[in-house]
Chains A and B, each alone.
Chain A
Amino acid sequence: MKQYYFSDGQERFGPFSLEELRSQPISKDTLIWHEELDDWTKAGELAELTPLFELPTMPPPVNGPNIPSVTPSNPNVLDSSTEEKPKTWLVESILVTVLCCLPFGVAAIINAAKVDSRYAVGDYVGAKKSSDEAKKWTIIGLISGLVFMIIYFGYVFFIAVGGIDDFDF
């Protein structure tokens, strides 16, 4: 089931199923986001949402528990003032680039930049995704570096042992 989020320009609401979205106060200009979208998109531009605007009127607001609004249990949807920027992994990325000699660090740096860009426009879910991606590349770089070191020292050890063998026999 696709999960939709919408924004009133200041706060984000969701996740909602398509059915739940019907009861929310959205217009064709409301910004919508779901997992398959790269960025917030106007509701009017999403084909699957057009039936929503063919309803004659919005249901009247009711002060009751049956109206699903903000679901604070979802960690993706927090008030913007409390949402911290995810780790950019820049320090680790640069370390990998400069010390482990592997270009994976560069892939991590690109994602580090995306963390900040996405965070700046309020896309916390996307920022978190980029942060995880940066972390992934940092770790891949680190592990590749370690594996190379192990192979290298194994090789050095092999040569040393081989040398002794040559000497003895």
Chain B
Amino acid sequence: MRKPLLKIVILCGVLGLIWIYKSFDPSSDSTYFPPCPVYSLSGWKCPGCGSQRAAHALLNGELGSAWSFNPLFVLVLPYLVIAGLAEYGGIHLLGKKGSAFLNSRWVIWSFFIIIILYWILRNLWL
């Protein structure tokens, strides 16, 4: 990640995706948004189902409906932003020790357990 050009391309890609997901609603324009492969192949909801709709809702300030589409997405987003900035931007919002903690096994196993539990539970009840 030392190549500045690659960083610019990725940044443009991220900004482009933000624009697309803010402007278009995956619920109504569903043809132009790919469905979840796991769900369409198996009929089981995966931990990521609803992330596109949740992203659209969040970008339009609808936290509640984002939560109802995919609470996991809403929960991991702050982590992804903070850890992603540290990893790729060199910006340590929580300090260097904080960034190291974000990649510690306690955090990783917590994510693992949350994701697996959420995966099972959302197929049972949600």
Contacts and interface: CB of A to CB of B under 8 A. Distances in A.
Interface string A103-140: 10010011011001100100000000000000000000
B36 interface: yes
Nearest to B52: A99
Interface string B70-94: 1011001001100110010000000
B3 to A, nearest CB: 16
A144 B32 CA distance: 18
Contacts of A109: 108, 111-112, 115
Contacts of A101: 36-39, 46-49, 51
A85 interface: yes
A94 B46 contact: no
Nearest to B46: A101
B95 interface: no
Interface core residue of B39, B73, B104, B116 (most chain A CB under 10 Å): B104
B111 A95 contact: no
B97 interface: no
B125 interface: no
A98 B87 CA distance: 19
Nearest to A109: B112
Given A98-B72, A102-B46, A113 B38 contact: no
Contacts of A113: 105, 108-109, 112
A97 B34 CA distance: 15
* Among B32, B49, B115, residue most surrounded by chain A Cβ atoms (within 10 Å): B115
Given A113-B109, A116-B103, A116-B108, A94 B34 contact: no
Contacts of A98: 47-48, 51, 70, 72-73, 76
A138 B107 CA distance: 18
Interface stretch (A6-14, A75-83, A146-154): A146-154
Residue among B102, B105, B109 with most chain A CB within 10 A? B105
Contact of B76 (A87, A94, A102, A156): A94
A94 B38 contact: no
Nearest to B81: A91
Given A101-B37, A145-B37, A95 B80 contact: yes
Nearest to B84: A91
A98 B111 CA distance: 12
Contacts of B48: 97-102
B80 A91 contact: yes
Q: Which of A103, A145, A156 has the most CB of B within 10 A?
A: A103
Given A94-B111, A101-B37, 8 more contacts: A88-B103, A88-B108, A98-B51, A109-B108, A109-B111, A112-B103, A113-B112, A117-B105
